[in-house]
Amino acid sequence: MPGSLREALVASLEFMPLGEPAGNVTIGRGRLDGRAVHVALVENRAASGAIGAVEAEKLGALLRLATLERSRIVLYLDSAGAKVSEGLQALGAFRRLFRFGLDAALAGAPIAAVLGRNCFGGSSMLAHLALRRLLGPDTRMGMSGPAVLAAAAGMDPLDEMFAAMAQSAMAPAARARASPANAEWKPGDELAPWLREALASLADAPSAFAARHDALAARLARALPGPAWEPLRRRDLERIYAAGYEVREWQGLVEGRGRAAEGEERLLGIVGDKPLGADPAWRFADAAWRLARERPPRLRVLLDCSTHAARLEEESLVLSEYVVDMSFALAAAARAGVEVTLTVLGKAGGGVYVALAAPARRVQSVHGADIQVLPGSAVAAILGESRDAVPSFDNYRQAGVADEELKLGLTP
């Protein structure tokens, strides 16, 4: 009898690899109830992450195929996320990969996520492309891994008290309590019934993900009060919208309208030096889902936020699901005909950047913007070293993290 979830999955689907592995990714075929299933095994072989440019290209090709065929995919994810050691190349590759994943999910390709020991960062975002996830006995899932959470809290990740707290927040039982879409697997359990349900065809995929958004509101510990909006004035917005704009802000969440050369644009964004938590992420997504229904011609998404909140209280809510909810809302708007542009005004990085960049038709970076895989402290926690220099726009363009530079005359 298979002893691990990976072994049980391979046996249950009669998995057969197609070709050689591409780095940490093995693509293959399986069968469920006599029908073919695409399978991708993403396996962690390095602490700095498993998904780099090579792996993203292989996974992206599979997701593009599934979009065309609306075929079933099983993702096995045992990964610390994007390869931090590859820097911007990994971030640009993951932007493209996640776009293909959103396209597949919204096109109605059924996706099931089966998780190995580690499922952090970008890997946890891939897991939430699926409406259902199966966790093994030792799975840990979160936007941040224990090393990053410990670094943000100023603690030693090997500290017994911290380790116990992290385990309590991220363990399979906690994830199953947070959402009925997360199920625990125990050795000896049959996978076929769960796979059959997880891979059921969707009559209306966008509506299914919109319904997931509505359910996420209930997970927040408190009732959501109405925002106390205040008018927002920024020099960069004055340069972008010389004909005028009306923007309001509350705790880093911004929304409004601006008049550009092409006509009026709706505005939605995340700004400020506060890391993104579940509450503002849900509010952003709520506004984006409304815009998907209203279908304005153009939506400019503004970003000046370097990272998500690396805190255990956020992880207890399954922060990854709230971050991915933003992506689905913007992708649904783009699918409805809205021209979505992301403009990076200042700092941007990691999952927040990917969530907003993947659904966008183009990404603009204001001259001097700082786009990074992770903040320096998180990179140091993973690699033992940090990055000091801000890359140039040529670096961004070559890596595929930005498509156009805006020179507003605000910096030398």
Residues 150-191: tens digit of each pLDDT: 777 777 767 777 777 777 788 899 999 999 999 999 999 999
Shared-domain flag, residues 256 and 326: yes
Mean per-residue pLDDT, 22-36: 95
Please determine, for residue 40, whether its predicted confidence score (pLDDT) is greater than 60.
yes
| pLDDT grade for 386, boundaries at 50, 70 and 90 | low
Shared-domain flag, residues 159 and 262: no
Q: Which of 168, 203, 238 is the last residue of a domain?
A: 203
Candidate from 10-24, 115-129, 140-154 with smallest mean pLDDT: 140-154
Shared-domain flag, residues 56 and 151: yes
| pLDDT grade for 385, boundaries at 50, 70 and 90 | low
Query: Residue 370: inside a domain, yes or no?
Result: yes
Shared-domain flag, residues 192 and 241: no
Predicted local confidence at residue 33, as pLDDT: 94
Look at the chain and count its residues.
412
Higher pLDDT, 310 or 113: 113
Shared-domain flag, residues 285 and 199: no
Query: Residue 221: inside a domain, yes or no?
Result: no
CA distance 347 to 372: 8
How many distinct structural domains can be found in the chain?
2
Domain with 345 in it: 230-406
Shared-domain flag, residues 399 and 262: yes
The answer to whether 51 and 59 are in contact (CB under 8 A) is yes
Please determine, for residue 381, whether its predicted confidence score (pLDDT) is greater than 80.
no
Query: Residue 115: inside a domain, yes or no?
Result: yes
Q: Which of 187, 203, 219 is the last residue of a domain?
A: 203
| Average pLDDT over the chain, rounded to an integer | 90
Query: Residue 305: inside a domain, yes or no?
Result: yes
Q: What share of the chain is helix, strand, coil (3-state, %, to 5)?
A: 40, 25, 35
Shared-domain flag, residues 75 and 116: yes
Please determine, for residue 279, whether its predicted confidence score (pLDDT) is greater than 50.
yes
Query: Residue 412: inside a domain, yes or no?
Result: no
Predicted local confidence at residue 412, as pLDDT: 47
CA distance 360 to 400: 13
Shared-domain flag, residues 293 and 350: yes
Within a 10 A sphere around the Cβ of 387, how many other Cβ atoms? 16
Please determine, for residue 2, whether its predicted confidence score (pLDDT) is greater than 90.
no
Please determine, for residue 382, whether its predicted confidence score (pLDDT) is greater than 80.
no
Shared-domain flag, residues 189 and 240: no
Predicted local confidence at residue 222, as pLDDT: 60
Phi, psi values for residue 321, rounded to 5°:
-65, -35
pTM over 0.85: yes
| pLDDT grade for 313, boundaries at 50, 70 and 90 | confident
Query: Residue 47: inside a domain, yes or no?
Result: yes
Query: Residue 237: inside a domain, yes or no?
Result: yes
Query: Residue 138: inside a domain, yes or no?
Result: yes
Shared-domain flag, residues 243 and 364: yes
Beta bridge mates, 180: none
Mean per-residue pLDDT, 64-93: 93
CA distance 390 to 257: 31
Q: Which of 185, 203, 221 is the last residue of a domain?
A: 203
Please determine, for residue 85, whether its predicted confidence score (pLDDT) is greater than 50.
yes
Shared-domain flag, residues 272 and 139: no
Shared-domain flag, residues 289 and 324: yes
Burial of 197 (0-12, 13-18, 19+ CB in 10 A): exposed
| pLDDT grade for 273, boundaries at 50, 70 and 90 | confident
For residue 27, give the CATH number of its domain.
Answer: 3.90.226.10
Candidate from 24-28, 133-137, 162-166, 206-210 with smallest mean pLDDT: 162-166
Mean per-residue pLDDT, 358-377: 87
